[in-house]
Chain A
C-alpha cells in the first residue's frame, strides 16, 4: 500500500487511519527502530509528550504506540520508536522510508510537563520505556529555565540495548541534565552502573515537595521505582507512570484496556501513582 489515491477518507472518522509516510528510519538496537512520519494529507493534531497514536501496518493490524519525538515549529511529522514484539510491531519496525502507515490520534493523557513547570524532574526509564520519555527530556532541555534540576535514570539489559545512544551520550555531557545509566549485564569497559534503576534512584538527593517523577518501563520497575520515591517523601500524586494494556480502539469503545476503574486509552496511559498503586497491587486486575 503505497498509493495514497486509494486510501479513502473518513467513514467512522475516529477509527479511520490517516496516511502518513515514513520519512526516515533509524535502527536503535537489535529490536527497536525510530520512524519519523510525515502526513500525506492534512496532518493530525500534534501529540503531546506521553500521548499515543494508533499505528496501522497495512493489512496486518494496529497497535498503540506512545510518541517518542517532539515536533518543532511548522514540522508536522510524528516520531515513534517501535520495538518489534509481534506481527504488527514487526511490520512497523521494519517499515522502510516511503512506506505508508495509517495513523490515528493523538489519544490519552500526557506527562503533564506544563503542570511541572518550576519543579525538579526525575525521569526514570527502563528499556523501551525511554521512548515515551524522550519527548520529556527534549522538552525540558528546550525550556531548561522552566524547570529546577533535571535527572534522567535510564536502565537497559546491556549497553547495546539502550535506545537513542548518541543522544544519551550528548545528554550525559550536558551539565544541565544529570544522567545515570545502568545495565543488568555489563561488558568490559562499561562506564555506567550495574543493577536496577532503583539503585541510582535510592542514592539520588531530591527535594520531595518540589519534585515530579515520571516513570516508564516494565510494571515491576515502575512499582519499585515508585516505592523508592515514596520512601524519599514524594507524594504519590507527584509520581506519574505510563501504563500499557491491550488497546484496540484508543477512544473508549472497545473495553480492552481497562485497569479497574480506568480506561487506559482515555484515563491513561499516563496515570498518577496515587491512582495506579492500588490497582497495580492486585494481580490480574
Chain B
C-alpha cells in the first residue's frame, strides 16, 4: 500500500478514532518539566513546539522554533511501563477476578522503542513459560510509530541497528513534516487494522516527492546520532573484559542507584513479594520491578553474590549488551540513550564500551 498524508486535523481525528475504537491512547505530553507518556484525550495534549536537550545526567525541556509535536528524543519513561507494569498482583489467597487486559494505543513510538517492545517480548513472551499478562497486553496494542528525522544528543539507535527508521511491528507509522504549509505527516500502514484506522481519517495519497523527501530525512538522521557504540562483537568484548580493572573505575562513579534499569525500555527484572495483611490470613503475591543494582538482588543464604559496585555495573552492562544474546537471542540495548540521561552521575554506556574496546586493543598489542 502506498503512503498517505494527513494534516493536524487528521492527527486529531486519529486520536479520537482510536478512542472511539476502545483504545486508551498513550502518548507524549508535558508534565513536571519533562515529556512523559500519559493518557491523551486529544492531539492538543502532544508537546507541540517542545523539544529536549539531553546529555549525560542531563534532561531539559526547550522551546523549539517550530511546531513539531514529535520533535523530542526519549523521555524518562518507556512503553514498558504499560506492557510490563511496575507493580502487578499475581495471586491472592482470596481469589482475584480476572480482568481483561487494557487496550492501549501507543502514539509516538520511536524506532528504538518499537525494537524495545520486541526485545521485551523475546524475554517475557517467547519463553517456555510466557507471562500471560504481558502477552495479552501486547496482543491488544495499536502502535502509531514515528520515524526520527532529528535524533537527540544521546541517541545511538543507528549503531544498534534499531533505527532511525521504524522496523516492523507498527500499525501506522508517521513521519512528521513541517514546511510553509504547516505541520503534516506522511503515513505508512503496517497492518489491516492500520488500514481501517487510516480510512477513518481525512487523508490523501502521498506524492512521490513527499515520500522521497521524508525517507531521505529519516535516512540522513542516521548520520546525526549523538552517540555510537564501538563496532565489533560487543558480547565477546565484554566476556574478554570480565577481569578488567576498568570496572573499579566505573564503580567509583556509579551510585548503584538503579536509575538506568528503571529508565531502560528493556530492563525487565522483577522481584516476587509475598505479603499478608495484619491477620496473616490473607496473602497476596506481587511482582515488582527490581534492579540488578540492588544489594540483595543476588541474595542467597550465605549473602549476596554481587556485593561490590564494580560487579553490579559489570553485570548490568554485560547482560544488556552481551549475555542477552545467549539468553534471548538479541541484544538488550536498543540505543535510546535513556540510561545516560537519567544516570545521576552521567555514566555513558557508549563511552564505557568505547573505553573497554580501546583497553582491549591495547591489551592485544
Contacts and interface: CB of A to CB of B under 8 A. Distances in A.
B41 interface: no
Contacts of A71: none
B93 A15 contact: no
Interface in B265-298: 268-272, 274-276, 280-281, 283, 285, 287, 290, 292, 297-298
B308 A8 contact: no
Contacts of B92: 8
B305 A252 contact: no
B129 A8 contact: no
Nearest to B292: A255
B103 to A, nearest CB: 19
A263 B323 CA distance: 10
Given A59-B276, A244-B300, A251 B91 contact: no
Interface in A40-92: 56, 58-62, 85-86, 89
A8 B90 CA distance: 12
B242 A282 contact: yes
B5 to A, nearest CB: 43
A61 B286 CA distance: 11
Interface in A222-274: 244-246, 248-249, 251-256, 258, 260-263, 266
B127 A256 contact: no
A11 B136 CA distance: 13
A100 to B, nearest CB: 11
SS of A interface (majority): loop
A203 interface: no
Given A58-B283, A61-B274, A244-B300, A16 B242 contact: no
B93 A284 contact: no
Interface string A1-28: 1000011110111111100000000000
Contacts of B276: 59
Nearest to B133: A12
B89 to A, nearest CB: 9
Interface stretch (B74-82, B94-102, B145-153, B216-224): B94-102
Interface in A200-218: none
A283 interface: yes
B307 interface: yes
A85 B302 CA distance: 9
Contacts of B112: none
Contacts of A7: 93
A285 B315 contact: yes
B132 A13 contact: yes
Given A15-B90, A246-B299, A252 B271 contact: no
Interface in B232-287: 242-243, 268-272, 274-276, 280-281, 283, 285, 287
A261 B323 contact: yes
Nearest to A9: B95
Contacts, number: 127
B91 A12 contact: yes
B350 to A, nearest CB: 23
Nearest to B268: A255
Given A13-B132, A14-B129, A17-B91, A246 B268 contact: no
B311 A254 contact: no
A87 B281 CA distance: 18
Contacts of B96: 8, 11
Contacts of B300: 244-246
A8 B94 CA distance: 7
A15 B287 contact: yes
A8 B91 contact: yes
B32 interface: no
Most buried by A among B127, B271, B285: B285
A261 B270 contact: no
Most buried by A among B92, B131, B268, B274: B274
Contacts of A6: 93-95
Contact of A285 (B242, B274, B275): B242
B270 A254 contact: yes
Contacts of B323: 258, 260-261
Contact of B319 (A244, A248, A258, A266): A258
A16 B89 CA distance: 11
A17 B272 CA distance: 13
A252 B129 contact: yes
A14 B90 CA distance: 10
A253 B288 CA distance: 11
B301 interface: yes
A244 to B, nearest CB: 6
B280 A59 contact: yes
A60 B283 CA distance: 9
B179 interface: no
Most buried by A among B94, B276, B301: B301
Interface in B315-345: 315, 318-319, 322-323, 326-327
Most buried by A among B94, B133, B242: B242
Most buried by B among A15, A17, A62, A255: A255
Interface of A: 1, 6-9, 11-17, 56, 58-62, 85-86, 89, 244-246, 248-249, 251-256, 258, 260-263, 266, 282-285
The 8 tightest CB contacts between A and B, nearest first, are A261-B326, A284-B311, A255-B269, A8-B95, A251-B129, A59-B276, A85-B301, A248-B272
9 contacts: A11-B90, A59-B283, A245-B300, A248-B272, A253-B123, A255-B268, A255-B290, A258-B319, A284-B307
Given A256-B269, A261-B327, A283-B311, 13 more contacts: A6-B93, A8-B95, A11-B90, A11-B91, A11-B98, A17-B91, A58-B283, A59-B276, A249-B272, A253-B129, A263-B327, A284-B307, A284-B311
